[in-house]
Amino acid sequence: MLRPAIRLIFGVLALFLLLEQTGQSTALAQSVLMGRASVVDGDTLEIQGVRIRLWGVDAVESSQTCRYGDGRVWPCGRQAAFALADFLGQRTVRCKRRDTDRHGRMVAVCWVGETELNRWLVAQGWALDYTRYSGGTYLAAQEEARRNRRGIWQGEFTPPWEYRRR
């Protein structure tokens, strides 16, 4: 006769295997979210009512402006959000949770097909590597955007973390 503790362990394992086989694993449901996304701002999406902050990147704020090399001001924050929305279109976005931020948002790495959105935003010059959190994951993409004067690298800008501080 099995002891009650061992029976409980086997019962939990059997339930976990059943959930895995039916694709209803609670761990999976909590860590991956898929669907059509709406853009909240340059580094925040919403899928099925869930706000998702893109991990490791920091896009210029929606209210932020930048300066072209000739001194003209342009709404780079709005442009970053528009660029992301245009890229997403009506396609399905898949996000894998990395963390939860202090505002309760899911912090995730997201993809459209094989394209990682976090890296795409940095490579297009609409976001910066948020080294404090990313450990430098996107620094090479950032350097490429800077070198090719993409997005905010067309002129002068304030890093978004400094803009928010002001």
Model confidence at 23, pLDDT cuts 50, 70, 90, reads: very low
Q: Say which CATH number the domain at 48 has.
A: 2.40.50.90
67 belongs to a structural domain: yes
Q: Is 1 domain-assigned?
A: no
Q: Which three-class secondary structure string do you get for the chain? A: CCCHHHHHHHHHHHHHHHHHHCCCCHHHHHHEEEEEEEEEECCEEEECCEEEEECCEEECCCCCCEEECCCCEECHHHHHHHHHHHHHCCCEEEEEEEEECCCCCEEEEEEECCEEHHHHHHHCCCEEECHHHHCCCCHHHHHHHHHCCCHHHHEECCCHHHHHHC
Task: Classify residue 22: in a domain, yes or no.
Answer: no
What is the count of structural domains for the chain?
Answer: 1
Q: What pLDDT does residue 4 have?
A: 58
Structure tokens at 73: 């001001």
User: In this predicted model, which residue has the larger pLDDT, 29 or 161?
Assistant: 161
Specify if 11 maps to a domain: no
For residue range 78-107, list pLDDT tens digits in order: 999 999 999 999 999 999 999 999 999 999
Give the chain's mean pLDDT: 88
Output 156 or 13, whichever has higher pLDDT. Answer: 156
